Amino acid sequence: MKKLLTLVFCLCALGAHAQDPNFYIFLCFGQSNMEGAARPEAQDLKSPGPRFLWMPAVDYPATDKLPARKMGEWTEAIPPLCRPNTGLTPADWFGRTLVASLPENIKIGVIHVAIGGIDIKGFLPDSISAYVKKAPGWMKGMLEAYNNNPYERLVTLAKKAQKDGVIKGILMHQGETNTGDPKWAGMVKQVYDNLCSDLKLKPEDVNLYAGNIVQAGGKGVCIGCKKQIDELPLTLHTSQVISSDDCTNGPDRLHFDAAGYRELGCRYGEAVARFLGYEPKRPHIDMPKRIEVPADAVTAETAIPGNEFPKVDKERRAYFRIQAPQARKVVVDICSKKYDMQPDGKGGFMAVTDPLPVGFHYYFMNIDGVNFIDPASETFFGCNRESGGIEIPEGPEGDYYRPQQGIAHGQVRSIYYHSPNSKFGEWRHALVYTPAEYELAKNAKKRYPVLYLQHGMGEGETSWAIQGKMQHIMDNAIASGEAVPMLVVMESGDIKQPFGGGNNQAGRSEYGATFYPVLLNDLIPYIDANFRTKSDRENRAMAGLSWGGHQTFDVVLQNLDKFAWLGTFSGAIFGLDVKTAYNGVFANADEFNKKIHYMYMNWGSDDFIKSGDIVKQLRELGIKVDSSESAGTGHEFLTWRRGLHEFIPHLFKK
């Protein structure tokens, strides 16, 4: 595109003001659908080449992709053809159709003057002065762009263009504003007659091509105008109506969408080609790739209520849809793969993924290089920010993390506590799960053990409750007798922010280590003071996923006087020398096994963090450690849900 607009227009392309009989010029005028209301897409912005030229009716400032373009100077016809910041018009693909249909020695030129919402009177010299005075405020800037006389601007440029070529036709798309006006056809004829007179055109050689309005299946906003446009040839015999049947439209049912403008433009071009004696040929148009959504696809449980998408089918493929009429490229990024979303020609984009692993997955959309959250998705804190997310459902095997009828349900409470030891402010937020029986009057004096449960890098204190479905896992396990009733405390752990580097060897961590004094000196005392807890080490456990597993090792193994139960799920524990780590805590297996009543580690079969080697080394030292590998899952919440489900039945039992 940078090489476009390098024509030396008058001298090189057209000769030194010598009229070229093979340079066919067309005048285009009208209101918003001639002005163009759809954003040009990639195929519209490709240069049509030097055979399709355009004489701007206003000056265009330079942009990062195109140089400045001057009013009255021929240049290659790249949208927007009306004014800066307008859209795709029928003229764009009209010219491309003629280039495809006519011999290669013929060039096409257009001059384009249009104003959204303008009455046909705005193109009558005798009426324009009074019309400008009464024009609404939003139209005044558009009128001023043409020095408050769009007809005069069109004629002035047309006379200049006649020095270079021959005017062969007039394209009009106007009428919506004059819907139901019985004088409209007569005024259109008056505009046409004025053009023929002022430009010395022979009507029998220069037709008026009038495009019809948006129909929207009979529900177009100005559908009443269709009949009067269809009947225009009864008043103006040199006019030809360009059908808009089945031309697609935008959601306003007033303007065409990009695909609709292409189709209508091609129809203008075909009509002109036939009048000129040539067999019409359509240029190549990239048609939207239609994505069929199977009948078995259901709306994802993570969609905001009221939205149809995202959807998931029985093959675990996800379907995403978004309305983004001004976007050029939209991508959905999920499970480490990016999918180009396909435009539907109506301002919408859609994509279907490969089959996805069951479980929960973060995802983002990207418009023209900028990541954002799908507005149809509930948000989940992950990836160091709020993210979109989708649940790919398991079968009945996933019932352990789904809410069940017929059982008592606990609560997840939001608390704020004061923390003098905090590096990031003295008031902090945490979530606390209390089992269903905690509220019963008969248990008013009963005390409960506590599990401190940490999330992973870039997630937050809500992650276990929302993405991990912790409360459902706890409710179901307690109701079935698998697990004893317990409290579960979840805190941010100072790892919501991106990884900060530094020394992060086991026991000497910097990332997230600011949480350790907060946990030990502020959070645990707060929980013990404000909830009915059993506050000794025998009734306190800690576990964490990913970097939360790293924190669990750092905290528990250096504070065995405060914890007796330990678990990691895909624990981010690297470079661990089990013989010397944490001041040799594993060196005396008998002593360690007496202090830690249960140690558990899990990971996914497709996980990039696996603990198998650590488990093997610990067992060789005589350390009792239970473990499991989650089949078919990676570094994701289904791995960690399974791990928590397997871990909690062993807690606080001796």
The values of phi and psi at residue 474, to 5°, are: -65, -50
Mark 14-27 as b/e (b = at least 16 C-beta within 10 Å). Answer: beeeeebeebbbbb
Place of tokens 């992950």: 382
Tokens 């408050």 locate to 148
pLDDT of residue 9: 39
Residue with tokens 């819907």: 179
**67-81, 321-335, 468-482, 522-536 — which is least confidently predicted?**
321-335
Helix (H, G, I), strand (E, B) or coil at 298: strand
What residue type is 558 in one-letter code? Q
Q: Which residue's entry shows tokens 């025998």?
A: 538
Q: What is the spatial distance between Cα 627 and Cα 637, in angstroms, rounded to a whole number?
A: 17
pLDDT for the residue numbered 288: 65
Q: Residue 72 and residue 56: Cα distance in Å, rounded?
A: 6
Lowest mean pLDDT among 64-73, 313-322, 562-571: 64-73
- For the stretch 224-275, pLDDT in tens is 999 999 999 999 999 999 999 999 988 889 999 999 999 999 999 999 999 9
Mean pLDDT comparison of 241-245, 370-374, 383-387, 496-500, highest-scoring range: 241-245
- Over residues 43-67, mean pLDDT: 92
For residues 509 and 114, the model is more confident at 114
CA-based angle 30:34:35, to the nearest 5? Answer: 100
Per-residue confidence (pLDDT) for residue 2, from 0 to 100: 42
pLDDT band at residue 6 using 50, 70 and 90 as cut-offs: very low
Query: Is a pLDDT exceeding 50 seen at residue 16?
Result: no
How far is the C-alpha of 513 from the C-alpha of 508, rounded, in Å?
A: 8
* Rounded to 5°, angle at Cα 186 from 182 and 189: 150
Q: Find, among 568, 547, 561, the residue nearest to 615 by Cα.
A: 568
DSSP symbols for 457-483: TT--TTHHHHTS-HHHHHHHHHHTTSS
Predicted confidence at residue 79, as pLDDT, reads: 95
Q: Which of 124-138, 203-217, 275-289 has the lowest mean pLDDT?
A: 275-289
Find the angle CA(141)-CA(146)-CA(152) to the nearest 5 degrees: 145
pLDDT greater than 60 at residue 499: yes
In 456-587, where does DSSP find H-type helix? 463-466, 470-479, 515-518, 524-530, 547-556, 581-584
Handedness of CA 146, 147, 149, 154 (dihedral sign): negative
**In this predicted structure, what is the pLDDT of residue 17?**
57
Residue 12: the pLDDT is 41
pLDDT over 90 (residue 102):
yes
Q: What is the mean predicted confidence (pLDDT) over 335-352?
A: 86
Instruction: Provide the 3-class DSSP secondary structure of residue 107.
Output: strand
Split at pLDDT 50, 70, 90, the class of 10 is: very low
Please state the φ and ψ torsions of residue 512, each to the nearest 5 degrees: 85, -5
Mean model confidence pLDDT for the chain:
92
Q: Which residues are catalytic?
A: 32, 252, 255
Is there a contact between 453 and 464 (Cβ–Cβ < 8 Å)? yes
149-158, 183-192, 603-612, range with the lowest pLDDT: 603-612
Question: Average pLDDT for residues 309-325, to the nearest whole number?
Answer: 94
Tens of pLDDT, residues 386-426: 899 999 999 999 999 999 999 999 999 999 999 988 877 78
Q: Are strands 330-334 and 359-367 parallel, antiparallel or unpaired?
A: antiparallel
Task: State the amino acid at position 491 in one-letter form.
Answer: E
In this model, does residue 3 exceed pLDDT 50? no
* pLDDT tens-digit map of 588-618: 999 999 999 999 999 999 999 999 999 999 9
pLDDT the model gives residue 576: 86
> What are the phi and psi torsion angles at 280 (to 5°)?
-65, 140
Q: In the structure encoding, which two tokens stand for residue 242, read together?
A: 């360009």
- pLDDT surpassing 60 at residue 458: yes
| Burial of 314: CB neighbours in 10 Å, binned 0-12, 13-18, 19+ | exposed
Q: Shortest CA distance to 100 belongs to which of 345, 242, 265?
A: 265
Reported in sequence order, the residue ranges of 96-217 that DSSP labels E, i.e. its strands, are 107-114, 166-173, 207-211
Residue 1 pLDDT > 80, yes or no? no
